[in-house]
Amino acid sequence: MDNDQIRVLADRGTYQGKLLKGNLEETHASWVILSSEFAFKIKKPVKLSFLDYSTLRKRKVMCEKELRLNRRFSPIYQGVFPVRTRADEFAIGGHAGKAVEYAVVM
């Protein structure tokens, strides 16, 4: 995903059938969407000297690793869900559409 698509996801995307209408925050390696109920962390497609998120597969694996490690210490971690797109619409989770990213849901 790129910056424009992330903005669309944050504003008009859905999770569990509800609009996110979230605030978007950024780090050097991730986008974080803060909705009224959940936080969604999506890794940027970057390769730096200390991390490699350059492919969708690598980002999914790292999301799953983050969940596995952090869930031990914090109950806020809900799971890793695909970010799917269909007809210029984005949804986190579900089964319809092509998976274009993965999100750690908290």
pTM given for the model: 0.94
CA distances from 85 to 91, 95, 99 (A): 6, 10, 7
**HSE (CB half, 13 Å, CA atoms) of 73?**
3
Query: Quick one: 100 exposed, middle or buried, by C-beta within 10 A (0-12, 13-18, 19+)?
Result: middle
Quick one: pLDDT at residue 40? 98
- The model's confidence at residue 87, banded by pLDDT at 50, 70 and 90, is confident
Quick one: pLDDT at residue 42? 98
- Under a CB-based contact definition with an 8 Å cutoff, are residues 41 and 30 in contact? yes
Q: For residue range 32-56, what is the model confidence (pLDDT) as tens digits?
A: 999 999 999 999 999 999 999 999 9
Residue-averaged pLDDT of the chain? 96
- The model's confidence at residue 5, banded by pLDDT at 50, 70 and 90, is very high
Query: Can you give the residue ranges of every domain in the chain?
Result: 3-105
- The model's confidence at residue 94, banded by pLDDT at 50, 70 and 90, is confident
Taking residues 43-72, report their average pLDDT: 97
